[in-house]
Amino acid sequence: MKNLALSLPTFGFIVGTRAALAFGVALLVSDRIPASRRRALGYALLAIGAATTVPAARSVIGSLTTSNP
């Protein structure tokens, strides 16, 4: 069985990267904010979320442990 043990700061980092990515995508598909502002903010959040995906994945993979019953 594999266990995942994350510290609170690492968990917050992972949640923050996923939230930035999701919010960026949501801004790009929405129509409530003027297009120029929405696109700039959406692409910035999407880029931040995508760029921080690799470090977040590394921290999750590094936190996996295998326990023997």
pLDDT attached to residue 68: 57
pLDDT, tens digit, 9 for 90 and up, residues 18-53? 888 888 888 888 888 888 888 888 888 888 888 888
pLDDT attached to residue 66: 66
Structural domain containing residue 39: 2-66
Q: How far is CA 64 from CA 5, 21, 55, 67, in A?
A: 7, 24, 15, 10
The total of structural domains in the chain comes to 1
pLDDT attached to residue 46: 86
- Which pTM does this prediction carry? 0.69
Residues 6+ apart with CB under 8 A from 43: 24, 28
Contact criterion met (CB below 8 Å) for 23 and 45: yes
What is the DSSP track for 5-24? ---HHHHHHHHHHHHHHHHH
